[in-house]
Amino acid sequence: MTTKKKVIKSYKGFHKDMTCRGFQYEEGKEYTTDKEISLCHEGFHACKNPIDCLNYYEPNHSVYHEVEQSGQTLSSRFDHPDTKTVSSKIKIGKRLSMVEFAKAVMDYTKSKIKHKNDYIKDYGFYKTAEQCANIKTSSSHSYMHTLGDKSTCIVDGLQDIARNSGHYGASISLNKNNTSCNEGRFGAAIAIEHESIACTTGIYSASVNTGNNGISTSTNSCSISSVTGDYSYSECDGDFSISAVTSNYSSSNASGVQSISAVSGDDSMSSASGLGSVAVTTGNSSHVIAKHETSVAIVWGPNGVAKGVKGSRLVLTEWEFTGVEIFNLIGSKMIRIDGKRYKEDTWYMLENGKVVESKFDIDNE
């Protein structure tokens, strides 16, 4: 580890109430400690690589902010599992949406990858960007990208990064703490392991993440973002796109026109904020939100609740428990949030055939 005196741009995760290890933070404030800093023990901690925040704060129950670290700083050595840094001073910057968080990961990725005609270091091997097309590496801590059309980039080493910016390409990351980014049309970005991020900004692209605590985002039209790991997040803000989560304690959001956000895991969240978009949950004790006046939120699982803005529709269901993990549908109702009989930003559920407000303080769970 090394000690330095400089301003470091980092990223920090918090609980949703902006606390970290019992300390209350506020956006825009600066904090200082006179105590001797120690990595993992004393001082203000953050990570240079945004993806490393997922080691400490899972996406479904956390928020992430840009921060500036200064004063006395102590960073992990290169062989440390992540980029955690501790400092005696920290300034809390803006909160990042999950799309902005994913973009920050992509920007960090780009900063570690040299451009065409430069060289990329792979722990003893040097390859030009052109030579990186259609090959893979299995070395730890390596970086790879492709710039050519119809090319493939694969990484299967620990904490590696794969990036593809060419059309018709594939960017694949297969191990722990990896990042896979695709910025070309008709491409695919896939991250398959624990705490990974898969991002795509290309039209008609697919972003898939099967690791726990991961993030998958799709930011252009007619794309797919999918997560199958627990405590994960999937977001799609392109028109006519799909954001899907199939595991527990996760979140999915669709903000594009006529897009779909679907969750099948228990205790998960699905939301739709695009024009004519649909959010649906099928798991037990899940939540669904309609954030646009033309959106529909569908609760199709037991003990689920829904809320929406004025003008939106909610579909509520009631289920009967008949055995171990077995429920039978009793009935369903659709309501329109009119601001009078049914209020905005209020959680509703179906109970004994009637629409009632939820008894639980879901927003603060």
- Reported as a pLDDT band with limits 50, 70 and 90, residue 354 is very high
Cite the beta strand spans of 33-158 per DSSP E: 44-47, 62-75, 84-96, 119-121, 126-128, 135-137, 143-146, 152-155
Neighbours of 283 (CB within 10 A): 25
Is 145 buried (19+), middle (13-18) or exposed (0-12) by CB count in 10 A?
A: buried
Q: What is the pTM of this model?
A: 0.61
List the chain domain ranges. 2-96, 249-365
**Which one-letter DSSP state was computed for residue 38?**
B
The one-character DSSP state at 99 is H
- Distance separating alpha carbons of residues 160 and 147, to the nearest angstrom: 18
8 A C-beta contact, residue 188 and residue 198: no
Q: What pLDDT score does 200 carry?
A: 67
More confident residue, 144 or 73: 73
Higher pLDDT, 134 or 168: 168
- Range with the poorest average pLDDT among 37-46, 87-96, 176-185, 329-338: 176-185
What pLDDT digit, counting tens, does each position of 157-216 carry?
444 455 554 444 455 554 555 556 555 555 556 565 555 666 666 566 666 666 666 677
Q: How far is CA 347 from CA 1, 47, 289, 362, in A?
A: 49, 36, 9, 8
pLDDT, position 202: 58
pLDDT top residue among 234 and 19: 19
Token output for 11: 């990223």
Contact 214, 229 (CB under 8 A): yes
Residue 288: band (very low, low, confident or very high) from pLDDT cuts 50, 70, 90: very high
Give the C-alpha separation, 279 to 295, whole Å: 8
Secondary element (H or E) of residue 106: helix 98-111
How far apart are the C-alpha atoms of 289 and 271, rounded to whole Å? 4
Task: State residue 101 phi and psi, 5-degree precision.
Answer: -65, -45
Q: Three-state DSSP class for 234?
A: strand
Helix (H) or strand (E) holding 100: helix 98-111
**What average pLDDT does the chain have?**
76
